[in-house]
Amino acid sequence: MTKRTAAKYKIDRRMGENIWGRAKSPVNRREYGPGQHGQRRKGKLSDFGTQLRAKQKLKGHYGDLTEKQFKRIFGDATRIKGDTGENLIGLLERRLDAVVYRAKFVPTIFAARQFVNHGHVTVNGQRVNIASYRVKEGDVIAVRERSRQLAIVLEATQLVEREVPDYIEADHSKMTATYLRTPTLADVPFAVQMEPNLVVEYYAKN
């Protein structure tokens, strides 16, 4: 098991929720957290604890981003006109690794980051190997021809546990996806409830 895969399952256990809706998630069998203290009775979370948990859950869903990365995205969200929580979700969904994951080119967000970093993806015909690259409406994301028969790609396109959301138009026969529009929170197919408003409250107080 790779370090990334282990981290993926540890995040699920730590949150006590199957945050990607994966059939293999250990939360489906054990709802308590990882480690020797995982089975301790959970106390009621304070407001701070609830806000922190909302932030950790959202960070975890997008591949366990570092605090520095996440805070930078949040800062960008505050500078955009409109609701900061909705802006945050929109910016996270514009990450190239997130688009590759949503388009079902790979099975997990962790695989998406590695897939992009290894140069398997193009944006408008140009190879891009930066997972945090922000796609724009109308951009066409494609799996490079030599990468289309990789086992991880073939496995992902057959996944039945999730669908491609309607803000991405994917063609798995050509292995291309067009980013149609920036989604709102209600558009994103999160497996569990995400609360970006609590993330906004967390950063407002800390």
pLDDT of 161 reads 77
Q: Is pLDDT of 53 > 80?
A: yes
Q: Is pLDDT of 191 > 90?
A: no
Q: Please write the tens of the pLDDT for every residue from 6-18.
A: 455 565 555 566 6
Q: What single DSSP character describes residue 134? A: B
User: Do 161 and 22 meet the contact criterion of CB atoms below 8 Å apart?
Assistant: yes
Quote the tokens at residue 75: 């800062």
Helix or strand run (H / E) with residue 47: helix 47-61
User: Do 112 and 97 meet the contact criterion of CB atoms below 8 Å apart?
Assistant: yes
User: Do 19 and 192 meet the contact criterion of CB atoms below 8 Å apart?
Assistant: yes
Closest CA to 100 of 139, 73, 74, 54: 139
Does the predicted TM-score (pTM) go above 0.75? yes
